[in-house]
Amino acid sequence: MKIQIVNYAGRFDLKTEAKTELKMEISGLSRPQSFDAYDIDIILLNDKNIWQNRGNNTDRVKAQNDFISINKIIENCTSAQVIVVLPQNIKFLYNFWNEEPLASCVLKDMIEELRLILKALSSRLQWHDLFYERTKTNFENHMIEADFYFNGVDAKNILTKSDRSKKATTIRDGKLIFTTLNLETEKDIQAFLQGIGLIESKKSIPEWIEEIKMFDDEKQLELINENSALIEQYKKNIDEAELVLARNNRYKSILYTQSDELVEVVFEMLQEMTGGDLSNFVDQKHEDFLFEAMGYVFIGEIKGVNHNIRSENVSQLDVHYQSYIEDYPDNLDKTKALLIMNYQRNKPLSERGEIHETQINLAKRNGSLIIDTFTLLKMFEQFKQGSLDQRDCVRLLSESTGILSIS
């Protein structure tokens, strides 16, 4: 019996309180193996990292595209048994700023949005009423908890019910099985699969057998303990490295994004490099940013476009600059206009053209500064590595004209 576990991390992170004889392979949500290459495919959605959205709404998750891809895999699956393990009542984090969520909501308080998100994984889930209630389901004296249950399901499609309260915790819908049970360990998965009849039950080893140490038991147990500790440390190291890579990829997103997604990351970088504060800036459909740093006022535009930088982009920046100077003439000598452009964003960096001299000369004439996002990224990299400090960054932005160049 071959079993594929599909989880967020794509690595074995089940709690190891008890090993079983199950032959399981692990795949990530973003790169699952063919479902039909296995007898059983179990999709685990109980990782807290799934239930996040960098945007300011709760109707999608950052793994939404992975859900859509897996939906297609499920539709084309012909022989394997697919099981979807729903999340517990974990906290949904959203509206991120500087890698920190500004808002959160537990899943029990957003069940309609939860069903909408899960619909991307399987449209069948939208037809099942989901309710919050903490229960336990008994599998031959092995209890598994659940935070949700299904309601209004035909009795013939109910595979497991909670102990005493008889709430449906596992149901069958066509070729799919959905469960709200919290499958945290190999033992949980084994008991669950045996309980719903997908694998045969084996005679369990009595606990007193563990007390009899013979052959090289002691040596093997010591080896297991030593390597378990190493595995935990390696997993911790991997988690930390993945967080850093995710943060780095977020910064690099300014090379392909546009609109609010681009503006949010650029704001974060500008604030960190200059010490300026954009938290109270309100976009009134004029300039994209306006802030003070070390005695200078920076005003500017942030754009992501598929074409090269045009004269109209430089001229529009000057309109905002002149309008500001009309209102604050005393700031003339300390105000700098910045045009931050992610131009030809639909192309790899190696295929992007040079910014034309016409636009560079126009910026020089206006006393403004063009900054392409790759140059901004290099500047931010040097700042992060300590080659530049905030004073250096402010000096580069305030004293340069035409186009910013970073060696």
Question: Can you give the pLDDT at residue 280?
Answer: 82
Question: Can you give the pLDDT at residue 202?
Answer: 65
Residue whose token pair is 């005393």: 330
Q: Give residue-wise pLDDT tens across range 147-158.
A: 999 999 999 999
The token pair at 4 is 């594929």
Tell me phi and psi for residue 105, to 5 degrees: -160, 130
At residue 346 the predicted structure's pLDDT band, cuts being 50, 70 and 90, is very high
Residue 18 has pLDDT above 70, yes or no: no
Question: Can you give the pLDDT at residue 17?
Answer: 53
Question: Can you give the pLDDT at residue 9?
Answer: 84
Domain boundary among 220, 251, 282: 251
Q: Give residue-wise pLDDT tens across range 286-308.
A: 788 999 999 999 999 999 999 99
Print burial letters for 134-162: b (CB count within 10 Å at least 16), e (below 16). Answer: ebebebeebebbbbbbbeebeeebbbbbb
What's the mean per-residue pLDDT of the chain? Answer: 92
Q: What percent of the chain lies above the pLDDT cut of 70?
A: 97
Same domain, 214 and 146: no
Q: What value does the mean pLDDT take over residues 358-373?
A: 97
Domain boundary among 188, 204, 220: 204
Q: Give residue-wise pLDDT tens across range 56-112.
A: 899 999 899 999 999 999 999 999 999 999 999 999 999 988 788 999 999 999 999
Q: What value does the mean pLDDT take over residues 357-371?
A: 97
CA angle 201–206–211, rounded 5-degree value? 145
Residue 169 has pLDDT above 70, yes or no: yes
Same domain, 92 and 162: yes
Q: Give residue-wise pLDDT tens across range 201-242.
A: 766 678 888 889 999 999 999 999 999 999 999 989 998 999
Lowest mean pLDDT among 91-100, 170-179, 314-323, 356-365: 91-100
Q: How many residues does the chain have?
A: 407
At residue 14 the predicted structure's pLDDT band, cuts being 50, 70 and 90, is low
Q: What percent of the chain lies above the pLDDT cut of 90?
A: 80
- Cα–Cα distance, 306 to 285 (Å, whole number): 21
Question: Can you give the pLDDT at residue 377?
Answer: 97
Q: How many CB atoms lie within 10 A of CB 199?
A: 18
Residue 45 has pLDDT above 60, yes or no: yes
Q: Are 190 and 199 in contact (CB under 8 A)?
A: yes
Segments forming the whole domain that contains residue 337: 256-403
How many whole angstroms from its chain centre is CA 218? 43
Query: What is the total count of domains within the chain?
Result: 3
Question: Can you give the pLDDT at residue 319?
Answer: 94
Same domain, 82 and 135: yes
Same domain, 192 and 213: no
Residue 283 has pLDDT above 80, yes or no: no
Question: Can you give the pLDDT at residue 381?
Answer: 96
Residue 181, domain CATH: 3.40.50
Q: Give residue-wise pLDDT tens across range 189-212.
A: 999 999 999 988 766 678 888 889
The token pair at 379 is 């500047």
Residue 353, domain CATH: 3.40.91.30
Same domain, 82 and 48: yes
Same domain, 102 and 185: yes
